[in-house]
């Protein structure tokens, strides 16, 4: 191993002994095991995703057929108990949220204190070098000081001397949530409040903040625990605040936010509504939306999630087939011409098999709910195998 230093970066070179045939074969065998695990996971993701998508779609259609739109300021009607309701109105809380350490007071649903510390950060870049039949790995380490929200453990650095970070922050990040939130005359459940996450940075320009600590400076919406924010040192801390769900009278930092909610009314509270399909409806969107617009957004979200999981399941399937067939490449790796042909063939094989098996799994998930479409998908998945069989038969007759 050799080492070279240059300013805030240095390079290490490690010599790597070439792996023997038995070592490569052992690694390929481990790949087969990993491929089998990924295969089982891909089947689970693809199959359960179809059932989830259909249940969610059915639940949304059921909810839209039953939902009752309310005016947020009308008197509570006992006849609406245990019914799915929709309402749109401004958020309200009993009192402002307050941070005593920095004197920040604002009437919101959530107030978040975000803390960052000026720390050393290590970056590494590696490349392989072949010299005289030997393979060497050259790794270049560089260091820079940056503001980070998480403590970076400098003990893991390749060169800790001169790049040491504190082991903890002097101030902790925290999120405060209002105990009671309501719209009109109905209080929001914990599940609805958790969906209010449109955090925005709190501007300190219009906020009277008393700063009596000489080592605490306000600059660019940050509280800096240093005398000079433009020249921070490692270990210095800065704090900014963010809020979600404005309430109150509409002065600072702006008018109260409007939300649109679909949930079940129980007395003076809004809670989750369970559909016959087994899903729960407890929906909150920022802005003034009709019930039809809320359900349209939920259908769109369900479609995006379904296709994302389908793509993820196919990727897992492709990786599982690739890892399982890697052992074939290892057996012929020592023959250059055969090696390249086998490598290309295995990639094509993995692509075709993963596509077919993914479609078969998706069709199996649909067969129970929509048999006709499930059978069509199954036939489409078997099409590559039928074509390959037909070509093999034709070549045999020739």
Higher pLDDT, residue 382 or 291: 291
In whole angstroms, give the CA distance from residue 260 to residue 65.
18
The label of the residue with tokens 């016959």 reads 276
Peptide bond into 169 cis (omega under 30): no
23-32, 81-90, 107-116: segment of lowest average pLDDT: 23-32
C-alpha–C-alpha distance, residues 197 and 175, integer Å: 11
Least Cα distance to 104 among 9, 229, 211, 234 occurs for 211
pLDDT surpassing 70 at residue 75: no
Please give the Cα distance from 317 to 35 (Å, whole number): 9
Beta strands in 166-308 (DSSP E): 174-177, 181-183, 186-188, 200-201, 217-219, 222-224, 237-246, 258-266, 269-271, 273-274, 280-281, 283-286
Q: How confident is the model at residue 5 (pLDDT cuts 50, 70, 90)?
A: very low
202 closest CA partner among 218, 229, 221, 220? 221
Provide the strand spans (E) within 178-333: 181-183, 186-188, 200-201, 217-219, 222-224, 237-246, 258-266, 269-271, 273-274, 280-281, 283-286
Would you list the DSSP string of 145-170?
EEEESS---GGGSS--TT----SS-S
How many residues in the chain? Answer: 398
C-beta separation of 351 from 318 below 8 A = yes
Q: What is the pLDDT of residues 288-327, one digit of tens each?
A: 999 999 999 999 999 999 999 999 999 999 888 887 777 6
Biggest CA-to-CA distance, the chain: 94
**263 DSSP β-pair partners:** 85
Which residues, other chains included, contact 235 with Cβ-Cβ below 8 Å and sequence gap of 6+? 117, 118, 119, 165, 166
Q: Is the pLDDT of residue 328 over 70?
A: no
Confidence grade of residue 227 (pLDDT, cut at 50, 70, 90):
confident
Token couple for 145: 């000081």
| Contact residues for 309 (Cβ-Cβ < 8 A; gap 6+) | 45, 46, 49
* Angstrom distance (rounded) from CA 397 to CA 106: 83
Check whether 7 has a pLDDT greater than 50: no
Q: Tell me whether residue 390 is exposed, middle or buried, using C-beta atoms within 10 angstroms of its C-beta: 0 to 12, 13 to 18, 19 or more.
A: exposed
Residue 272, pLDDT > 50, answer yes
87: β partners: 261
Q: What is the pTM of this model?
A: 0.79
Q: Report yes or no: 38 and 319 within 8 Å, Cβ to Cβ.
A: yes
All structural domains of the chain with their residue ranges? 20-59+302-397, 69-119+147-289
Nearest to 31 by CA among 306, 350, 257: 350
DSSP annotation string for 122-134? EEEEEEEEEETTE
User: Taking the chain, what is the end-to-end CA distance rounded to the nearest angstrom?
Assistant: 61
Q: Report pLDDT digits (tens) over 91-124.
A: 999 999 999 888 888 999 999 999 999 999 999 8
Of 51 and 2, the one with more pLDDT: 51
């Amino acid at each position: 191993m050799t080492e070279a230093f240059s300013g805030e970066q240095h390079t290490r070179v490690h010599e790597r002994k070439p792996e023997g045939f038995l070592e490569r074969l052992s690694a390929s065998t481990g790949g087969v095991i990993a491929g089998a695990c990924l295969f089982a996971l891909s089947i689970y993701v693809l199959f359960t995703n179809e059932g989830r998508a259909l249940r969610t779609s059915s639940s949304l259609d059921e909810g839209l057929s039953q939902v009752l739109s309310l005016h947020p300021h009308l008197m509570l009607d006992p006849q609406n108990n245990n019914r799915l309701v929709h309402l749109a109105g401004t958020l309200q809380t009993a009192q402002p949220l307050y941070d005593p350490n920095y004197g920040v007071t604002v009437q919101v649903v959530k107030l978040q204190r975000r803390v960052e510390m000026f720390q050393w950060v290590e970056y590494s870049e590696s490349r392989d070098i072949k010299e005289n039949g030997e393979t060497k790995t050259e790794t270049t380490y560089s260091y820079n000081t940056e503001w980070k929200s998480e403590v970076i453990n400098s003990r893991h650095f390749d060169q800790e001397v001169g790049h040491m970070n504190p082991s903890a922050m002097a101030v902790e990040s925290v999120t405060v949530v209002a105990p009671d939130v309501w719209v009109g005359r109905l209080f929001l459940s914990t599940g609805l409040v958790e969906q209010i996450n449109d955090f925005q940075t709190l501007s300190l320009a219009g906020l009277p903040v008393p700063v009596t600590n000489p080592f605490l400076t306000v600059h660019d919406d940050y509280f800096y625990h240093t005398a000079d924010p433009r020249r921070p040192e490692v270990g210095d801390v800065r704090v900014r605040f963010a809020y979600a769900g404005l309430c109150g009278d509409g002065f600072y930092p702006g008018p109260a936010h409007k939300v649109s909610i679909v949930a079940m009314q129980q007395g003076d509270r809004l809670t989750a509504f369970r559909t016959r399909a087994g899903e729960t409806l407890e929906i909150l969107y920022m802005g003034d939306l009709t019930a039809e617009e809320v359900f349209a957004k939920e259908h769109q979200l369900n479609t995006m999630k379904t296709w994302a999981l389908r793509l993820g399941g196919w990727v897992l399937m492709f990786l599982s087939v690739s890892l399982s067939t890697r052992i074939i490449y290892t057996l012929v790796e020592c023959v250059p011409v055969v090696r390249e042909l086998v490598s290309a063939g295995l990639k094509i094989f993995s692509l075709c098999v993963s596509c077919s098996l993914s479609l078969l799994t998706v069709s199996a998930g649909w067969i129970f709910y929509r048999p006709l479409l499930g059978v069509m998908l199954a036939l489409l998945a078997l099409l590559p195998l039928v074509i390959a069989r037909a070509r093999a038969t034709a070549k045999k007759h020739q």
